[in-house]
Amino acid sequence: MTEINIHIPIIPIGDMKEIITILIDGFRKLAQKIKSDKEFYSIEKIKGYSWIVYYHRKFIEEKLGFKTESVDEKLKKATVSISKEKFLRKYGNS
């Protein structure tokens, strides 16, 4: 299975609403790439892993559509994922 991993650097760019807007805009651009670029065609899953995911899993699941795959309580990090089909339904229609 081909996966793409998302990394969100910590950049102080504004309030949380602005950060979420930028994140969703990035998801929409990625969805367009997956739909139109042959290089991205084989992607089947989009994943994210970090401490941000660990502390914001509920929001990421409920609002962004990802599912928790694993949680590392010792490192305080988690992995979330979303299938290509679900990702394109959620972010590919803009």
Dump pLDDT digits (tens) for 46-89: 999 998 899 999 999 999 999 999 999 999 999 999 999 999 99
**Can you read off the two tokens belonging to residue 63?**
């609002």
> Over the chain, what is the mean pLDDT?
91
pLDDT at 43 over 90: yes
Report how far residue 84's alpha carbon sits from residue 56's, in angstroms, rounded to the nearest whole number.
21
pTM of the shown model: 0.87
Report how far residue 4's alpha carbon sits from residue 40's, in angstroms, rounded to the nearest whole number.
9
| Other beta carbons within 10 Å of 38 | 6
**Can you read off the two tokens belonging to residue 14?**
């504004």
Question: Which residue matches tokens 């299975």?
Answer: 1
